[in-house]
Chains A and B, each alone.
Chain A
Amino acid sequence: MNLGATAPSRATLATPVFDPAVLRRDFPILDQEVNSRALVYLDNAATTQKPASVLTALESYYRRDNANVHRGIHELSRRATVAYEDARARVGRFVGAADPAEVIFTRGTTESINLMAWSWGLDVLHEGDEILLTEMEHHSNVVPWQLVAQRTGATLRWLEIDDQGLLELDALPKLLGQRTRLVSLTHVSNVLGTVNPVADIVRTVREHSDALVLIDGAQAVPHLPVDVRSLGCDAYAFSGHKMCGPTGIGVLWARRALLDSMPPFQGGGEMIRVVEREGSTWADLPHKFEAGTPNIAGAIGLSAAVDYLERVGMAAIARHEHELLTYALDHLAEVPGFRGLGPDQVELRSGVISFALGDAHPHDISTILDSEGIAVRAGHHCAQLVMRHLGLPATTRASFYFYNTTDDVDRMVTALHVVKGIFG
């Protein structure tokens, strides 16, 4: 049975029926054995696999078009520049950006957030200003703000989570005020899978403060339809490699007026207009924030990934992951000692399952699953604040993507019985 296989409607006849068993054939890496078992890849929140079309885009760029961008007059440079700027427009459209100039290519979500911290934060924040974060943030949306707070005298404040892993939104208005300069939070928790109601949160922030809202979308853009303008936030960060794209490429989207008001992040070639001994002037957006030769191939690969995701359909991806999540939670509940973390309501989650299993340590669970050819993540998932809230030093995490099937879930359930066989 293929979950998520839906009858084609007349409107979508051009789109193939969503079938994960067929889609996974587009991913060469999935067709292999690990420890003599067919690979089951359930570590998609860490990074996703790449379809052949992305690999081809990378290779054909290097084989035919490779040159530096925005510099050469020659043909290859022209082609590379067109492909790079087309990628910017393509990726921008995918998340609803009004203007490609609002799309800054970075190394990934971490660099996108650091760009905000070091350019906007260092410039604007002063002693007494407040930055509001949440307890469910990945370290990449905690540490940059700690560093900038230390330098500026700004204070960090925290929106907490409840025992199900939902934000304590009732407390939000009280945490906001004249001093709040920034609210930075994740769209989807990488540990609990909680999908935060970003549009509602933005509305509350607007009612109670003049703060900017920055969203960490690393776990959202790959898994559900995202439109940055309808969310209403000021800036949004995400990574290419978690959405079928290459590593080393990511995006910071921000409103044009905000980006215009910010000083450069890094200095170098590409980002200047005129350089003189006394000082320099900056290039227009988006180049002001892209010092040095950018990750041209990465951007082109990300663009190919976006093409692929749109062919599959983001709504279909989200639907399939929900169905898989429901199926998995039902079957995992039958494993003695299984304790799933995160919201009870499946509608409030993405395809992430963090769990504990009796007194078996996540590291041991992960080793046993690996010996059965199943890749999951064990550890604190770069979210030690969440771990502390849960009172667990580590969890095991299985995270799905659209190429995962109920067979993958069944294999994991069987392997967890092996864990029980060893650890009792």
Chain B
Amino acid sequence: MENPPLKSLYQQLILEHYRKPKNKADLPDRTVEVRMTNPVCGDEIVLQLKIEGDEIRTARFAGQGCSISQASVSMMTALLEGRKLTDADGIATRFTQMMHGDESAGGDRTLGDLRALQGVSKFPVRIKCALLGFDALLEALKQSGHTPVVRDEGDEEETTP
């Protein structure tokens, strides 16, 4: 692969999550479930969370789609377990900032494996893929009664019907 942006897009870590996703399983004792689809490409994610009090105990997902959408949700669920809802919200905000070109987010350890997705920000038409799982997360938090923190201006929320 000679093409530099392409190399930064398809990091080994992303391909590993795509081939062997983490937390791709059913969660029978979930407290919330959200289905998100991208009607343009047909990518689909069903996010299941078990939330107790203000903490995410377990995160699982089902879905099909491109390497970016599936790796992103796999990485996201790996980060969510044991997190406070506010922290989960913070991760979503930080990740969205990274997608919109905030390079400092790429060095933010709170994003864990998700940092490998920084290269997606150079591919505007693929940002939606990376955010699909987070769209599901934010909707799940909302349905669980969590009030999101105020976001920076310029963070456009991608909503899918």
**At the interface, yes or no: A423 with Cβ under 8 Å from chain B?**
yes
Instruction: Tell me the B1-36 residues at the A interface (CB within 8 Å).
Output: 1, 3, 5-6, 9-10, 15, 19
Q: A379-B40, A394-B41 are in contact. Are A364 and B6 (CB under 8 A)?
A: no
Size of the B side of the interface (Cβ < 8 Å), in residues, is 22
Q: Across the interface, which residues of A come within 8 angstroms of B1, CB to CB?
A: 418, 421-422
A394 touches B42 (CB 8 A): yes
**At the interface, yes or no: B89 with Cβ under 8 Å from chain A?**
no
| Binary B-proximity of A404-424 (CB < 8 A = 1, otherwise 0) | 000000000000001001110
Q: Across the interface, which residues of A come within 8 angstroms of B42, CB to CB?
A: 379-380, 384, 387, 393-394
B66 touches A363 (CB 8 A): yes
**At the interface, yes or no: B56 with Cβ under 8 Å from chain A?**
no
In the assembled complex, the Cα of A170 lies from the Cα of B129 at a distance in Å of 42
Distance in Å from the Cβ of A102 to the closest Cβ of chain B?
37
B5 touches A422 (CB 8 A): no
Q: A361-B67, A421-B1 are in contact. Are A367 and B41 (CB under 8 A)?
A: no
Binding site secondary structure of chain B = mixed
Q: Across the interface, which residues of B come within 8 angstroms of A379, CB to CB?
A: 40-42
**At the interface, yes or no: A368 with Cβ under 8 Å from chain B?**
yes
In the assembled complex, the Cα of A361 lies from the Cα of B126 at a distance in Å of 13
Q: Report the interface size class on chain A.
A: 20 to 34
A393 touches B68 (CB 8 A): no
In the assembled complex, the Cα of A363 lies from the Cα of B64 at a distance in Å of 12
Binding site secondary structure of chain A = helix
B41 touches A378 (CB 8 A): yes
**At the interface, yes or no: A281 with Cβ under 8 Å from chain B?**
no
Having A364-B10, A367-B123, A421-B1, one finds 17 other A-B pairs with CB under 8 Å, namely A361-B67, A362-B41, A363-B68, A363-B129, A364-B67, A364-B68, A367-B125, A367-B126, A368-B6, A371-B3, A371-B5, A379-B40, A380-B41, A387-B42, A422-B6, A422-B10, A422-B15
Enumerate the 6 nearest inter-chain pairs by beta-carbon distance, A residue then B residue, closest first. Answer: A363-B66, A361-B66, A393-B42, A371-B6, A422-B10, A394-B42
